[in-house]
Structure 1
Amino acid sequence: MPTKPEEIRKSLSLNIKKHRKRLKISQEKLAEITGLAAQTINDIEGGRKWVSDRTLSKISNAFDIAPFLLLVSDESTIGKQEGTSPVELLSLLRVNLKKSVSRQIDTEIDEIFKEEILSK
């Protein structure tokens, strides 16, 4: 089970590409389906960009799978690795999503403050 941020990011990248190829759709088509920019899909698949909870949801909905499946290294080993259960995977997902949402909120608040300061 991936536990380091870079491992989770790599799993996300590989899983998005795998599911996109399974559906035989391009990055542009996935972008169209999800309402995201094609460059965003490219950056996520390339491991250059992390996803928000909203983006993860959009992508998993496009693939018709549970969001956490995009974050694990191999779907076939879920619950089979020693000490790894679906509950533990969901717990890890929860922690990572909370961190992601918190960072996103902080960024948005910082932007609001910057705009407020610049407008005075």
Structure 2
Amino acid sequence: MEGDLQRLVGVNLRRHRERLSISQEAFAEVVGVHRTYLGALERGERNLSLRSLERLAQVLGCDPVALLLAEGPEH
């Protein structure tokens, strides 16, 4: 469905960020984006480029593909 991948990336982004016990605001600062933009990404409301996906994954310390894959019962 349209937007499903966008929402999945958002869920995964939040999950990985929370595993690091870092706030949305602190993570946004490290990545170099505004907190409201990061929040919109996590809610699946905003598109992001592959370059941005790579940057987020790098900061999270995960493979970019991990942000694209469904995991667990919430998917």
Pairwise TM-score range, normalised by the shorter structure: 0.7 to 0.9
Q: Percent of counterpart pairs with the same letter?
A: 28
- Asked if structure 2 preserves the Cα contact closer than 8 Å seen for 1:57 and 1:67, the reply is yes
Asked which structure has the greater CA Rg, the reply is 1
TM-score, length basis structure 2: 0.85
Paired with 1:67 and 1:35, the residues of 2 have a C-alpha distance of 18
For 1:37, the aligned partner's letter is H
Paired with 1:27 and 1:6, the residues of 2 have a C-alpha distance of 22
Query: Per residue, is there more helix in 1 or in 2?
Result: 1
How much is the aligned-residue C-alpha RMSD, in angstroms? 1.5
How many residue pairs match? The answer is 72
Q: Is residue 53 of structure 2 the alignment partner of residue 65 of structure 1?
A: no
Paired with 2:12 and 2:42, the residues of 1 have a C-alpha distance of 9
Unaligned ranges ≥5, structure 1? 76-120
Instruction: Give CA-to-partner distance per residue, 1:43-102, whole Å, 9 cap, x none.
Output: 100111011122111110111111111011118xxxxxxxxxxxxxxxxxxxxxxxxxxx
Higher relative contact order (CA 8 A, sep 6+): 2
- Asked if structure 1 preserves the Cα contact closer than 8 Å seen for 2:13 and 2:67, the reply is yes
Q: How does 1:1-120 map to 2 (within 5 A)?
A: 4-74=1-71
Paired with 2:15 and 2:4, the residues of 1 have a C-alpha distance of 16
Unaligned ranges ≥5, structure 2? none
Moved >3 Å (runs of 4+): none
Paired with 1:65 and 1:71, the residues of 2 have a C-alpha distance of 11
